[in-house]
Amino acid sequence: MVATFEPKTDYKVIGTRPIRHDGYDKVTGRAIYGADLTLPGLIWGVCVRSPHAHANIKSIDTSAAEAMDGVFAVITGADMPEAPDKLVDLGEGNVNFKWASNKLMAGDKVVYRGHPVAAVAAVDRYTAEEAARKVVVEYEVLKAVTNVVDALAPGAPIVLEDLVGDDLGEDVTNTNMAEHIRHEFGDVEGAMASAAHTIEREYNMQMVHQGYIEPHNATAVWDEEDRIKIWTSTQGAFTARTQIAGILQVDVSKVKVTPLEIGGGFGGKIPVYFEPIAAILSKKSRRPVKMVMERVAVFETTGPTPGGRMIIKLGADANGKLVAATADIWFEAGANPGAVIGPAAMCVYAPYEIPNTRIDCWDVVVNKPKTAAYRAPGSPQVAFAMESAVEELCQEAGWDSMQFRIDNSSREGTRRGDGVLFSKIGMEEVLEAAKNSDHWNAPLGDPPAGKKRGRGMANGYWFNIGLKSSVNLAVNSDGTVMLIEGSTDIGGTRVSMAMHVAEVLGIGAHEVRPSVVDTESVGYTDVTGGSRTTYATGYACWIAANNLVDELKKRVAILWDISEDDVEFSDGVFSSKAESEKTIDFKELAGKLADLGGPAISTGSVDLESAGDGFGLHIVDIDIDTETGKTDVVRYTAIQDVGTAIHPSYVEGQLQGGAVQGIGWALNEEYYMEEDGSMANSSFLDYRMPTSLDLPPIDTILVEVPNPLHPYGVRGVGETPICPPIPAVANAINDAVGIRLYNTPMNAGSIMKALSK
Amino acid sequence: MMARVFVPYALRKYANGAEEVDMPADTLGELIDNLEAAYPGMKRHLVVDGAIKPGLAAVVGHTATRRGLLQKLENDVEVHFITAISGGRS
């Protein structure tokens, strides 16, 4: 049975806004990131990368590089251990060791531009780069396929000759289709045929990158005892360890991963890239090897999120109730299988109750970098299609689209598109908050001269995951508590974990000192991703803190020479049940522990199911310059059911960050691909992400529907907010200038092209 | 215990096209064995090396189980087999 909790509101620490423990180190530059790390005898590694997106490797000559002064090791695909064709779960995503190994270092074929074909370790970065230029590779260039339509066309070049695809349970070969899945419930065709209003539209999206500021990096030592030490920027030290051990074919106990500070990940730092290569270079050179990726390589070779093609058909009765829906979804996997089609299917209809549904999804291999998770992987794409179609259906039928969303809202007992029933969710509460919001009820106002103004809205959904987390606690003699955790801190989780502990112990958040540690210093912990960390690691903190209270009751029993069953604890104070005037607070007790049995420690660990379904709705006002097509966001409000906001500032920050990334995806961002499979805009100059100068402040409305599965009611919050912005912007563009855009990015060129028709 | 199994679309061919079937079982492992007995050919799509097939999630009730084949089943509980968060073959 899954434990459930009654909602509480009388918190002392939960819901406050203490300054994050790592704040000063971050803003002063003292925090240690991968590029800062140095070790005695450290040398540099760099990759030799393919200039072609698709080519056979006819030969590699490394002799000139190996002969250079200052070069300690050169490796190629021949140095990579043969990794098994085995799929392993990574929490948010999984890894097939064979494909992962091939992604890191090509064997006899390159399948994406920038694919490493060799790596060099030398005394310094410049020597390594010069040596890399001396590696001679002879290619037989093949035609590249860079989109799902071309990849599935008859006679298309085959990216992976040994791929065996799964077409609804049947094996297929000589194909770029890795998998085709279907969910179908009810009488879809009958219900669609009976619908009073139907709409069918096709949507196309370009691949986009997470755009984290800190590039990938890794430092490795392969020591004399065949133990491998890795320092890296990762969202999950333990899942990095799993991948490294699997790719290098060593036991996990041989690998120690130390997570350094992380400058953004958003899902893209779950896969490993340099770590196994640096380890092999270290083994060969017998020195520590450090590798830091260039920005071009980050774009060209590390996991973006899929672009693809979607066709949505909706049917509604004369009263405005949805009766049927179909979705056909083709996603680019990149150069290895594994696009996020499962989550897309989970999310596409989630905000709505629709009795008859079908979803078909295809995972398609193309000559682009292997995709990775990106904030609600798969959901923003299907939200763009679904929420655009809903708006257009309402326009054609003459319905108020806010009321339509309310009338068709999912609720407890609604069946998701993949068949799973929702438990307690907050979609209706979010819609109510949106309908009553100041933004929704405010006049649109007049745009500046030469511009037209419009308002749009859209729903979004992410299911949020639970999984494994472990923490340790130890009491210091001054009444503070050390918190040891395995969750890398990307968005302020040190403080939210400390708050979980402080609330139980009745002390301040800053009296708990959190540390993120390596894989040999705490129990297994899954990735910081899937919007799971505050939920699952926080739950583990709550367990550990309660265990600590139990341990301390034993010490109080020694102090007062009573049974531990006669000790009570409330608001940070221990008291005797029999003699209520006999009390001792947490801090005073901590100072006496040396004489009461010594150090007091505790642990907490969990392996949890869902972190509670997350629903949001965003409202956006935009101005469009009708002469240039430039879009300016002038007002934005993100509304979301967040369960309980542990640290409201960081919950608001998640909503704001997700909105900003979604706006960038909507208006500007894309992998602009040349015909030969190269990316034409692989720099932050040309890959245009929004900055604080581009956008107004993002308003937030936190709707708190406590999650009964968490002791404080936490739901995952970090991913839902990237789902609504793309369709909300599309709907606002339509409202402003009357055009409906079906492709992203909806940039100035697209708008001007549509306006000129 | 009697569970209500939502048969994945790709496996409905083994279950005479049924969208849902009722199946007695106390655990998820027993349920899959009973499915195989009733509809031969289904198990290899659900279980590999004595565990839920990688890339697949078994949803018992409202959430994906973390107990695998050992997951206990309550009477009338819904069981779904869906593609895991990772997406397609990887």
Structure confidence by residue, pLDDT tens digits, A367-415: 999 999 999 999 999 999 999 999 999 999 999 999 999 999 999 999 9
Q: Is the pLDDT of residue A228 over 90?
A: yes
Are residue A65 and residue A27 in the same domain, yes or no?
A: no
Domain finish residue from A573, A608, A643: A608
Answer whether residue A167 is part of any domain: no
The mean predicted confidence, pLDDT, of chain A is 96
Across A535-541, average pLDDT: 97
- pLDDT, tens only, B34-67: 999 999 999 999 999 999 998 889 999 988 898 9
Interface check B68 vs A, CB under 8 A: no
The domain of A522 spans 23-31+466-608
Task: Give Cα separations from A383 to A55, A366, A592 (angstroms).
Answer: 36, 23, 57
Determine the distance in angstroms separating the CA of B57 from the nearest CA of chain A, rounded to an integer. Answer: 10
Helices (H) and strands (E) in chain A, counts: 20, 30
Q: Which residues pair with A46 in a beta bridge?
A: A120
Answer whether residue A319 is part of any domain: yes
Q: Say whether A342 and B87 touch across the interface (CB within 8 A).
A: yes
Task: Give Cα separations from A299 to A240, A331, A681 (angstroms).
Answer: 20, 18, 9
Residue A156 near residue A143, CB atoms below 8 Å: no
Answer whether residue A205 is part of any domain: no
Query: Which residues, including other chains, have CB under 8 Å from residue A155's CB and lie 6 or more apart?
Result: none
Interface check A329 vs B, CB under 8 A: no
Are residue A578 and residue A602 in the same domain, yes or no?
A: yes
Across A454-473, average pLDDT: 96
The predicted pLDDT at position A394 comes to: 98
- CA A669 – CA A349 distance, rounded (Å): 25
Residue window 20-49, chain B: list those with CB within 8 Å of chain A: 45
The predicted pLDDT at position A280 comes to: 98
Residue A730: closest CA among A462, A383, A312, A440: A383
Are residue A558 and residue A627 in the same domain, yes or no?
A: no
Q: Say whether B10 and A88 touch across the interface (CB within 8 A).
A: no
Q: Is the pLDDT of residue B88 over 50?
A: no
Of A88, A341, A465, the CB nearest to B54: A88
Q: Is the pLDDT of residue A3 over 80?
A: no
- pLDDT, tens only, A688-716: 999 999 999 999 999 999 998 999 999 99
Q: Say whether B80 and A339 touch across the interface (CB within 8 A).
A: no
Answer whether residue A337 is part of any domain: yes
Are residue A273 and residue A132 in the same domain, yes or no?
A: yes
Are residue A476 and residue A456 in the same domain, yes or no?
A: no
Query: Which residues, including other chains, have CB under 8 Å from residue A176's CB and lie 6 or more apart?
Result: A145, A151, A152, A156, A158, A159, A160, A163, A364, A365, A366
Q: Is the pLDDT of residue A539 over 90?
A: yes
Residue A300 near residue A683, CB atoms below 8 Å: no
Are residue A532 and residue A588 in the same domain, yes or no?
A: yes
Q: Say whether A184 and B64 touch across the interface (CB within 8 A).
A: no
Percent of chain A whose predicted confidence (pLDDT) is above 70 = 100
Across A496-521, average pLDDT: 98
In degrees and rounded to multiples of 5, residue A479 shows phi and psi of: 90, 5
Answer whether residue A186 is part of any domain: no
Are residue A490 and residue A576 in the same domain, yes or no?
A: yes
Chain A residue with minimum CA distance to B60: A420
Residue window 63-92, chain A: list those with CB within 8 Å of chain B: 86-92
Answer whether residue A651 is part of any domain: yes
The predicted pLDDT at position A30 comes to: 96
Across B9-27, average pLDDT: 96
Q: Is the dihedral of CA A347, A350, A352, A358 positive or negative?
A: positive
Are residue A644 and residue A726 in the same domain, yes or no?
A: yes
Residue ranges with strand state E in A563-681: 567-570, 573-576, 583-585, 601-608, 614-625, 631-641
pTM above 0.90, yes or no: yes
In degrees and rounded to multiples of 5, residue A175 shows phi and psi of: -145, 160
Answer whether residue A250 is part of any domain: yes
The predicted pLDDT at position A645 comes to: 96
Domains of chain B (ranges, CATH numbers): 2-83 (3.10.20.30)
One-letter amino acid of A412: E
The predicted pLDDT at position A598 comes to: 97
Across A151-168, average pLDDT: 96
Confidence of residue B9 (pLDDT cuts 50, 70, 90): very high
Residue window 378-407, chain A: list those with CB within 8 Å of chain B: 378
Confidence of residue B86 (pLDDT cuts 50, 70, 90): low
Interface check B1 vs A, CB under 8 A: no
Of B19, B80, B87, the CB nearest to A418: B80
Domain finish residue from A251, A280, A301: A301
Interface check A294 vs B, CB under 8 A: no
Residue A746 near residue A631, CB atoms below 8 Å: yes
Determine the distance in angstroms separating the CA of B90 from the nearest CA of chain A, rounded to an integer. Answer: 4
Domains in chain A, number: 3
Residue A421 near residue A414, CB atoms below 8 Å: yes
- CA B42 – CA A289 distance, rounded (Å): 49
Q: Say whether B84 and A607 touch across the interface (CB within 8 A).
A: no
Number of residue pairs across A and B with CB atoms under 8 Å?
123
**Residues of chain B found within 8 Å of residue A178, distances taken between Cβ atoms:** 88-89
Q: What is the CA radius of gyration of chain A?
A: 27
Chain B residue with minimum CA distance to A99: B90
Q: Is the pLDDT of residue B87 over 60?
A: no
Angle among Cα A501, A503, A508 to the nearest 5 degrees reads 85
Residues in chain A: 757
- pLDDT, tens only, A606-624: 999 877 899 999 999 999 9
Domain finish residue from A232, A267, A301: A301
Are residue A678 and residue A713 in the same domain, yes or no?
A: yes
Interface check A330 vs B, CB under 8 A: no
Are residue A135 and residue A247 in the same domain, yes or no?
A: yes
Domain containing residue A403: CATH number: 3.30.365.10
Answer whether residue A53 is part of any domain: yes
Interface check A576 vs B, CB under 8 A: no
Q: Is the pLDDT of residue A577 over 60?
A: yes
- pLDDT, tens only, A431-463: 999 999 999 999 999 999 999 999 999 999 999
Interface check A420 vs B, CB under 8 A: yes
Residue A46 near residue A291, CB atoms below 8 Å: yes
Q: Which residue has the higher pLDDT, A757 or A36?
A: A36
Counting Cβ atoms within 10 Å, is residue A108 exposed (0-12), middle (13-18) or buried (19+)?
exposed
The mean predicted confidence, pLDDT, of chain B is 91
Cis peptide before A447 (omega within 30 of 0): no
Q: Is the dihedral of CA A384, A385, A390, A393 positive or negative?
A: positive
Interface check A440 vs B, CB under 8 A: no
Q: Is the pLDDT of residue B90 over 70?
A: no
Q: Say whether A377 and B88 touch across the interface (CB within 8 A).
A: no
Confidence of residue A2 (pLDDT cuts 50, 70, 90): low
The predicted pLDDT at position A325 comes to: 98
**Residues of chain B found within 8 Å of residue A89, distances taken between Cβ atoms:** 54, 84, 86
Are residue A336 and residue A454 in the same domain, yes or no?
A: yes
Q: For strands A698-703 and A631-641, give the pairing.
A: parallel
- pLDDT, tens only, A48-99: 999 999 999 999 999 999 999 999 999 999 999 999 988 887 776 788 999 9
Number of other CB atoms surrounding residue A274 within 10 Å: 31
Q: Say whether B87 and A185 touch across the interface (CB within 8 A).
A: no
Are residue A243 and residue A94 in the same domain, yes or no?
A: yes
Q: Is the pLDDT of residue A306 over 50?
A: yes
Maximum C-alpha span of chain A: 87
Determine the distance in angstroms separating the CA of B55 from the nearest CA of chain A, rounded to an integer. Answer: 7
